[in-house]
A and B are shown apart, each in its own frame.
Chain A
């Protein structure tokens, strides 16, 4: 099946700093990528949907100026958590799909801890 990677797999940063997380589709072109957040013992919550070459669509309640998403190529999307705070500590998961109607393939996730 298709492979999606994320980097880093875990990161610890200090409050107030910014962190960038990369999501790559390794063996297919991802026209659409999704970013999810999962807090402990909770389900996945969609943060935003990004299509290559256009601005991301954010879900209600997600601050677009805080969670910057860039989908500059068909194989790479990045999520930057700006001015991170301890409440941003979470498991961030990306997924990617090749085209409408295709299955979403999930990355392994990035665990962010903000101290």
Chain B
């Protein structure tokens, strides 16, 4: 059974700090790993990763995938209070259509 595990489950830091969120997975036939940000409503898409070692970057957020060690990290630099949210990692299996989500990391940025 496909499994996605995120750590830490909860993280509280001060504004300006850099954070690293982790996602490890077990999937039979990996196709892609996705990161989402969820505030009060439904998740919003951040990144899709399919290849190992290639960093994807969007502003202060970046993410990278290691397909050998079966994990991904999401980095946020110079955090702001608006970064407070739940960050979800999901994995898609090749051939299947569905996403399997991890438990999420609840990130709180204090001013």
Q: Residues of A with Cβ closer than 8 Å to B? A: 1, 32, 34, 41-46, 49, 93, 95, 97, 100, 103-109
Contact = CB atoms under 8 A, between A and B. Distances in A.
Give the most central of B98, B100, B106: most A CB within 10 Å. Answer: B98
Contacts of B106: 41
B103 A46 contact: no
Interface in B26-77: 36, 41-45, 48
Contacts of B100: 46
Interface of B: 36, 41-45, 48, 88, 90, 97-104, 106
A84 to B, nearest CB: 21
A32 B45 contact: no
A1 B36 CA distance: 15
A103 B45 contact: yes
A18 to B, nearest CB: 23
12 contacts: A32-B97, A34-B97, A34-B98, A43-B88, A43-B102, A43-B104, A49-B98, A95-B99, A104-B99, A105-B45, A106-B45, A108-B41
A42 B98 contact: no
Main secondary structure of the interface of B (DSSP, over half): strand
B48 A44 contact: no
Given A43-B102, A43-B104, A97-B97, 14 more contacts: A34-B99, A43-B88, A43-B103, A44-B88, A44-B99, A45-B101, A46-B98, A46-B99, A46-B100, A93-B43, A106-B42, A106-B44, A107-B42, A109-B42
Nearest to A4: B42
Nearest to A6: B42
Contacts of B42: 93, 106-109
